């Protein structure tokens, strides 16, 4: 029986994701997520930020590489993985990162001018005629791949 190894984080991308392929052609996407936390200590509000490296594989990697950009909010569900190695001097090193099994894309908030709002309203009308709404599209976008 496997031991429990599960991680859930929510935050924003620190930089654009890096999509690459293994020699066998498997897609791998790597990105960093910043998670902010606020707490009170001695009646003062303290803030801390933690940074996590995330890797995704196969179709999920391709989708993340295509749609994620720096600053985009995400919720990542996955597992911790530890890499261990020794350098040329024999000194041991290790690093932890998250292997994502599910990535939800948070809705993007964009500032729009009047012209783009009109175009968006027309697109919404067309989606309603087709039987889908922007909310349906957001749900599909947030779905796991």
CB proximity list for 27: less than 8 A, separation 6 or greater? 19, 20, 21, 57, 58, 59, 61, 62, 65
Q: Does residue 35 sit in the same domain as residue 19?
A: yes
Residue 117 lies in a domain: yes
Q: Does residue 42 sit in the same domain as residue 62?
A: yes
User: What average pLDDT does the chain have?
Assistant: 84
pTM over 0.85: no
Q: What is the structure's pLDDT at 132?
A: 41
- CA dist 127 and 58 (Å) reads 30
Q: Does residue 87 sit in the same domain as residue 134?
A: no
Q: Does residue 77 sit in the same domain as residue 24?
A: yes
Q: What is the pLDDT of residues 114-130, one digit of tens each?
A: 555 555 554 455 444 44
Q: Does residue 30 sit in the same domain as residue 66?
A: yes
Q: What is the structure's pLDDT at 59?
A: 96
Q: How many structural domains does the chain have? A: 2
Range of the domain at 48: 7-109
Q: What is the pLDDT of residues 33-76, one digit of tens each?
A: 999 999 999 999 999 999 999 999 999 999 999 999 999 999 99
Q: Does residue 124 sit in the same domain as residue 101?
A: no
Q: Does residue 103 sit in the same domain as residue 126?
A: no
Residue 137 lies in a domain: yes
Q: Does residue 42 sit in the same domain as residue 105?
A: yes
């Amino acid at each position: 029986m496997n031991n429990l190894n599960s991680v859930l984080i929510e935050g924003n991308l620190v930089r654009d994701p890096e999509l690459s392929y293994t020699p066998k052609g498997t897609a791998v996407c790597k990105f960093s997520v910043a998670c902010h936390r606020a707490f009170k200590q001695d009646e003062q509000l303290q803030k801390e930020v933690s940074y996590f490296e995330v890797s995704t594989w196969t179709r999920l990697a391709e989708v993340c590489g295509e749609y994620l950009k720096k600053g985009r909010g995400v919720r990542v569900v996955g597992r911790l993985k530890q890499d261990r190695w020794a350098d040329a001097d024999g000194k041991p090193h290790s690093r932890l990162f998250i292997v994502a099994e599910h990535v939800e894309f948070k809705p993007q908030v964009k500032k729009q001018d009047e012209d783009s709002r009109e175009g968006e309203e027309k697109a919404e009308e067309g989606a309603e005629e087709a039987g889908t709404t922007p909310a349906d599209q957001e749900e599909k976008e947030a779905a796991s791949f």
